Structure 1
C-alpha cells in the first residue's frame, strides 16, 4: 500500500506529504547512486554514507547513520543529503533540481489538503486518472508544478479531483494551422464569421499572459466564453477528458512536469500524422486498441503555445461491458482498484499479461515502438475486475523504425513495457497478495512471441534497462535523452 492514506487529520498533512514525496526520491537515490548492504540498508557510493529505510516498493522513514547512531531525515534533509551525494557522484552542481524536489513535496501537501475537502468522481475511470498522489515512482520530483503559487495550478490538478470548463477562443481564419481530423473542436461552441473555434486550457492562457495581448488587440484572437460542461484533467495534467463528448484534448502547458516542459512542440506536431497513421495501421491487425491522436489545430502566431491535439475517446475502441482504468492507478490506492478485490491474483496477473503484452510486442512487427509505460496504458476490466483489454495512447512518445535504430527502439520498449509497466504492476500484486508466483507467467507470455528475435535474449539477460531520472535531471540532460542503468532481470530463471 502507499506509505500514507489520504484521509487523516489536518495536522498530519506535513508528515503525510513528507512520506509521499520521500518514497520516489528514495527509489531514485538508492537505485542510481546506492547499493544494498542489508535487508533495509544501503550505502551511497560516492560518500559511503549508510541509509536505512522501511517498506518495499515505496520506501519510508529514511535514516542516516552518523556518530554511531541512526538519525531520521525529514524530506528537506533528504533533499539536502541527495544534493550533496550527487555533487560528489557527478562533480556537478545543480540548484534547480533541489528546488523542484521541495516544490514537489509542497505540491503534495496542497493536493492532500484539497482532496480532504473534495469529492472523488463517481466514474471509476476518472477516479483512476485522478488517483496518482505518489506519481512516477522513480522520479525525484514527480509532483512539481513549476514552482508557481498553489492558487495558480490547484484548480487544474487531477489529484485534487479538479474539473473545469475550457476557455473558447476564436482564431482568425487566415491564421489557423491544422492537420488531420479536428472537426470535433467545432462542436464545442460557435465561432463568429471569419473565425475558427480554438479551445484553450485556462492555466496555459494565464501563463501566456501579455504574450497574447497583441493578438487580442488586433483581432486575430477573440474570446468566446467557455465550454458549457466541464472537462476532467487526466494523470498527464495537460490532457483532459470530456465525458459528454467522449473526447480527449491535449494542450501545451509551459510548466516543467517531471523531465520536460510540457509544450506541444512543433517538431512533434509536424510528425504527428505520420506517426499516428503508422500506429493505427499496426493496431488494425492487433489485439487491444489505439486511441488515435487524430489531428491538431493552432494559430500561426502562437504555433506551439495555443496548439490543441484531438484524441479519440473510447467510442468503438472499448470492449463491450468493460471499464477502462489507468494502469498507473493500479499501483496506488483508489476506490475501485481491482487488485483489492480479486480472489485469484495469479489469474488476474495472467489476464493482465495477455491484455498488455501482445499488442505492445505486435506493434514492433510493424515498425512501431510504443511508449508502453503505465501512464500511457489503460487496462479495461470486466465486472469482476479481470483485465480483458489494453488501450494505448500518446503518439508523441511513439518511435518508428528505422527513424530510431532497432537496438535503441528495443531498449526503449523493454524499459516501458517490462521495467516501468510489468515490474511495477507485479510489485503491486505481490504487495497485496504475498506469495503469488508472478514471473514464470510473465516469462511464458513473453516466450509466446519468439518470432521477435530479441525475445530469447531478453528472457535470459542478467539485467534490464532502468531509466535514471535523478541523474538525468541533475546533469540537465534533455528529457527525451533517456539514460539507463542495469537492473536485475526477474525473468531470468523464473
Structure 2
C-alpha cells in the first residue's frame, strides 16, 4: 500500500479494528451454528455462549444472533485466553485444515480494511445506475468469514479491479479460432475478427493464469472498458450493452471463479426456458437473458454475455441489487422491508412451486423501485446455479427443457435448500440485519403469501444455510454442506 496508494495508510490503520470485529463476528456465527465435528456441545446462557470442544477445551463469547450483520463480537476466550482476531483464533484452535483457513481469514480482514479505507468521506447522493449501486457493497458477503478474501490479488490489483474502489477495468480480447471454440446463443459481430472469436479476458486472468497468451486488442479492435460489479468478474461496459461475465480463476469467498464447459453448453437452453417461465408471473419477475456464451474448451478462457438488469426498468425506476439495500433508509423502514419480503417470497415461492429453485441471494436478486422507492418487481440474473425439477414442471403442464446434469433434480430437500438458504436466510435476513427485525419481516410477509407445501416447510422447520466455514475446513468434500438456523423470533 505504501508503494501504490500511500495516502490510504492512516485510513487503513483506522479501519483495522472494525474489520477484525466484522470477520470475527462472522466466524462466531459459524462456530455457534455450523455442524463442526470438533464442537461437541453448545451451552446458551443469558449473556453468553460457551462451546465445549474436543480435548476438553472451552470457547466463550457473547450470545450469537445468526441473522445479525453488524459486528458485535470484539473478542472471545479460548480456555480463558482472549482472542480478537479470527485468524489467530483458528490457529489456536488447531483444527484440521485450519492453517489454510486462517490465512484466508487474515486476507479477508486486511482486504475488508482496505475496502473500507478506500471509501469517500461524508454523505453521498443515491446512485443513478445499477453498477453504482453495486459498488456501494463494501463489506462483501454479509455472513461469510471470507467476506473479502481475495487470495492472489495484490493491493495494487485490488485497487485496480475491486468494485468498491470504483475503478474502470480494461478487458482484453483474446482471439481464438472459431473451430476451437464452443459458442452458444448469439455471439456478436463486434467480438469476432474474421474466423476468430474474441473472448473477453479479465486483466488479472491474463496476467496470472493465461500468462502471455495474448489477451490484447486484435484485428484493430479495442478492448472493453467496464465497471466491475459486486461479483468482481462480471462487468458493465462503460458504453452500455451486455454485461460481461469473465473467467477469473481465483478463490473468492468459497469458490474458484472460472466458467465451466457445462455452463456454456447449457446457457442458451436454460436462458430461453427461464425467460419463458416468467410469463407465468404476471410481470412481477424478469430474468435477464443470456445473449451469448463462448469457451475455448477451457474453464480458464470463457465468457458469458448477459442482458443488463436495467433493461427491465421503466421511466424513473431504479434497479437495485438486494445486497446494496442494507443500511439504506429503505431497509431501515419495517413497513418497506415487509413489503419487499412479501414480493420476494410470493414470487420466488411461486417459481419454486412451478419447478425452479432460484439462488436468490443479494447478488443475483435485484428489485425494481418506483420513483418513490416502492418495490415493484424483481429481476434475477445469473442462471448458472439454479435447480430445475422436471416432476414439478410436469405437474403444471410446463415443458421440461432438454437438460441433464447438476441443474436438474426432483429432490425436495435440494430444491428448498437452494431457495431458502439464499433468499430467506440470506437476502431477506441480511436486509433486516438482525434476528428480531427479520422475524417481524418474515411473519408479515408469509401472512400475505399463498400457501403451498413449500410455505409449510418454510414455516415449520429450521432455516437451511450453507455451512460456509465447514466447507472451507473440508477441502476433500465435494459439493455444498449445510447448517440449520433457528427460526427468527416470530418468523415461524
When normalised by structure 1's length, the TM-score is 0.82
2:485 paired residue number: 487
**Alpha carbons 2:291, 2:307 under 8 Å: kept:** yes
After superposition, the C-alpha distances for 1:366-396 in whole angstroms (9 at most, x for unaligned) are: 3211111111111121222221111111111
After superposition, the C-alpha distances for 1:210-230 in whole angstroms (9 at most, x for unaligned) are: 3626x99xxxx94756446x3
Unmatched segments (≥5 aa) in structure 2? 1-7, 391-407
CA distance in 2, matches of 1:239, 1:427: 26
**Alpha carbons 1:167, 1:199 under 8 Å: kept:** yes
Residue 86 of structure 1: CA displacement? 6.8
The match for 1:28 among 27, 30, 36 is: 30
Structure 2 residue matching 1:45: 3-state secondary structure:
strand
Residue 52 of structure 1: CA displacement? 3.4
Per mean C-alpha deviation after superposition, the further-off stretch among 317-326 and 55-64 is 55-64
CA distance in 2, matches of 1:121, 1:144: 27
2:272 paired residue number: 277
C-alpha RMSD over aligned residues: 3.3
CA distance in 1, matches of 2:435, 2:488: 15
CA distance in 2, matches of 1:110, 1:7: 9
Q: Structure 1 residues 93 and 486 mapped into 2: Cα distance closer, same or farther (>3 Å)?
A: same
Q: Structure 1 residues 15 and 282 mapped into 2: Cα distance closer, same or farther (>3 Å)?
A: same
1:476 paired residue number: 475
Structure 1 residue matching 2:269: 3-state secondary structure:
helix
Which aligned pairs between 1:7-406 and structure 2 lie closer than 5 A?
9=11, 11-32=13-34, 35=42, 37-46=44-53, 47-52=57-62, 56-65=68-77, 71=82, 73-75=83-85, 78-85=86-93, 87=95, 92-116=96-120, 122-183=127-188, 186-187=189-190, 192-210=193-211, 212=213, 222=218, 224=220, 226-227=222-223, 230-242=225-237, 244-286=239-281, 287-300=284-297, 303-314=298-309, 316-331=311-326, 333=327, 337-339=328-330, 345-402=333-390, 403-404=408-409, 405-406=411-412
Structure 1 residue matching 2:379: 3-state secondary structure:
strand
The match for 1:441 among 424, 444, 450 is: 444
CA distance in 2, matches of 1:478, 1:44: 25
Structure 1 residue matching 2:277: 3-state secondary structure:
helix
Residue 115 of structure 1: CA displacement? 3.0
CA distance in 1, matches of 2:125, 2:27: 27
Structure 1 residue matching 2:367: 3-state secondary structure:
strand
1:464 paired residue number: 463
Residue 474 of structure 1: CA displacement? 0.4
Residue 83 of structure 1: CA displacement? 4.3
CA distance in 2, matches of 1:160, 1:83: 31
After superposition, the C-alpha distances for 1:15-68 in whole angstroms (9 at most, x for unaligned) are: 233233333223222332574623552212313221237995323343334787
CA distance in 2, matches of 1:417, 1:143: 21
CA distance in 2, matches of 1:232, 1:145: 18
CA distance in 2, matches of 1:298, 1:455: 40
Structure 2 residue matching 1:231: 3-state secondary structure:
strand
CA distance in 2, matches of 1:401, 1:246: 32
CA distance in 1, matches of 2:51, 2:17: 25
Residue 235 of structure 1: CA displacement? 0.8
When normalised by structure 2's length, the TM-score is 0.82
After superposition, the C-alpha distances for 1:74-102 in whole angstroms (9 at most, x for unaligned) are: 32xx3232344472xxxx34421111111
After superposition, the C-alpha distances for 1:217-251 in whole angstroms (9 at most, x for unaligned) are: xxxx94756446x3111111101112532321101
CA distance in 2, matches of 1:120, 1:146: 33
Structure 2 residue matching 1:379: 3-state secondary structure:
strand
2:398 paired residue number: none
Unmatched segments (≥5 aa) in structure 1? 1-5
CA distance in 1, matches of 2:359, 2:386: 6
CA distance in 1, matches of 2:231, 2:160: 15
Structure 2 residue matching 1:486: 3-state secondary structure:
strand
**Alpha carbons 2:466, 2:481 under 8 Å: kept:** yes
**Alpha carbons 2:291, 2:306 under 8 Å: kept:** yes
The match for 1:424 among 415, 430, 433 is: 430
Q: Structure 1 residues 254 and 84 mapped into 2: Cα distance closer, same or farther (>3 Å)?
A: same
CA distance in 2, matches of 1:338, 1:457: 32
